[in-house]
Amino acid sequence: MISPDPSTLVLRLADIGDEAPAALLARYGLTLQHVADGEPIPGSYWGDEEAGIIGCTVHARADTPVHSLLHEACHLIVLPSERRAQVHTDATDSVEEEDATCYLQIVLADELPGVGRHRLMADMDAWGYTFRLGSTRAWFEQDAENARAFLAERKLL
C-alpha cells in the first residue's frame, strides 16, 4: 500500500473556518482576505495554495494550510508597522525575522481552536520546514533562544 503524502494531511483553512483566524489577525491590525477556490492567491511567495501578503492583508483560500496562513501573518506581525504597508509578497530576507516568524506562528497556533502548537509543528514538519535539530519541535524547545529574545524585545510574547 502506498502511504499518502504527509503534506496532504495538514490542517487547511477550510478545516477551521475563517472566523477565529480573522479575529486573531485583527488583534495585530491585519485583515484576512478570503480568495475564491481555484483563484490565484495575491501576494503568495510560493504560489499554489500558500498564503499571500500585501500590506496589512493576508490572502488565503479554503485549501491554504493553516501553518502557511500563520507564517505569512507572523511575517507582518514581526515587522514594525511602518514597514508593513510596503510589503508585497516577500516580507523579509532577514534570518532573525524568519526565525521569529516561525516561533510566533507556533505560539499563535494555540489561539486557534482545533489547532494548537503540537499540531502546527507536526504540520510544519510534514510540509517540509527544516531546522538544524531535525524537527520543528526540537528547534522550538531547544534552539530558538534568539527568536524568543527577538519577540520578547518587541513585546510580542
User: What pLDDT does 2 receive?
Assistant: 54
Cα–Cα distance list, 79 to 5, 37, 97, 123, 150 (Å): 34, 29, 8, 24, 11
For the chain, what is the radius of gyration of the CA atoms? 15
Cell numbers found for residue 55: 500590506
Bridge partners (DSSP) of residue 12 are 65
In a domain? residue 1:
no
In a domain? residue 104:
yes
**60: containing domain:** 9-153
Residue whose entry in the numeric block shows the C-alpha cell 510544519: 124
Each residue's pLDDT tens digit, 9-62 = 899 999 999 999 999 999 999 999 999 999 999 999 988 999 999 999 999 999
Quote the number of domains for the chain. 1
The number of angstroms, rounded, from the C-alpha of 21 to the middle of its chain's C-alpha atoms is 11
Length of the chain: 157
pLDDT value at 93 more than 90: no
